[in-house]
Amino acid sequence: MVKEQQKSKVWYKEPWPWILMSGPAIVVVAAFITLYIARSNSVDLVSDDYYKDGKHIDIQLHRDEEAYKRNIHAQVLVSPGFDSAKVFVSGDFDPKQPLNLLLMHPARKAEDQTVKLQPVQEGVASGGKYEYNAVFKPLPQTHHWYVRVEDAGGIWRVEDKWLVSQGNAISLKPMDKLLAPAASSSN
């Protein structure tokens, strides 16, 4: 009788080895699921050539300073379908030069769009503002966008962050927050 009670089951028929192995097995499966999600939703937050981008910071700041000196302002009114916009630009710029509207996604570079602005009335300003139209691919849903209006020659630019939840009107002005401390320190 005693021999019969001591006879144990084979290890794989016991529940404890399976309970102990289930934890690491779940972690391995979760790791593969996480890898799949990370690869399918990759984000372009890191520049491929950060050194080259860093060298161009002075050039970019020069464009902001130029817009500040010229007192260039823009207002962008995006359509409810998020596929077109009216753009009003004022300030000291040549309205005969082509202008671009850039819509930059905060995380996915593939969603960025650059659109050439089409003047509504050639060379005629209404209230000191020149009116332009822009048509682009429908914008995907996101919390915010970065919007920029610039001349095609790369001399000036105005830009700002557009919070979609706050409406479809974006006011772009020179980056005076960035330039004001420099102006006051030179006096």
Mean pLDDT of 116-121: 89
| Residue pair 175/161 in contact by the 8 Å Cβ criterion | no
For residue 181, what pLDDT is reported? 52
Quick check: 73 and 91 in contact, CB under 8 A? yes
Q: What is the pTM of this model?
A: 0.67
CB-based contact 164:181 (threshold 8 Å): no
pLDDT digits over 76-104, tens only? 999 999 999 999 999 999 888 899 999 99
pLDDT score of 187 more than 50: no
Q: CA 135 to CA 87: how far, in whole Å?
A: 11
Residues 6+ away with beta carbon under 8 Å from 174: 64, 67, 68, 71, 72, 73, 158
pLDDT score, position 62: 85
Residue 185 has pLDDT above 70, yes or no: no
Two tokens, residue 149: 């209006």
Question: Which pLDDT score is estimated for 106?
Answer: 85
